[in-house]
Amino acid sequence: MIDNMVIDTGAAKTLISQNAVEDIDLRVEMGDHIVTYYGIGGKEHAFTKKLDSIKLGSFQLREYEVDFSGMDYEGINGLLGLDILLDAGLVLDLAKLEMYRSGQK
């Protein structure tokens, strides 16, 4: 489980800190696709891995590609981007500060 993810509707892709997954030995390998992100904080390099599954509450995405980087923002382990938000059909209710799957409420 990865805690302290920031919901980032301005991020096209989800980006997770390598430090958050060190304990499961997820590291960059020779065949990994390398990508470069450009944002307000500058340039960030990441590697892409296909994960068996990603679980968000009771919902699961299978065979899903996620990017991992050396991002080092104190207390933040990653950015939950539009890729997962849209593919999971998640709704952000800003008035109630809630997130749920479309049709689940």
DSSP string, 9-56: TT-SS-EEEGGGGGGGT----TTPEEEEEEETTEEEEEEEEEEEEEEE
pLDDT per 10-residue tile (average), the chain, 105 residues: 90 91 81 86 88 86 92 88 94 94 82
**Would you tell me which CATH number, out of the four given (2.40.70.10, 2.60.40.180, 2.40.10.10, 1.10.10.410), belongs to the domain 5-101?**
2.40.70.10
pTM, two decimals, is 0.84
Count the Cβ atoms, other than its own, within 10 Å of residue 72. Answer: 9
> Checking DSSP bridges between strand 33-39 and strand 42-56, what pairing results, if any?
antiparallel
Give the per-residue pLDDT at 24: 78
Give the per-residue pLDDT at 77: 92
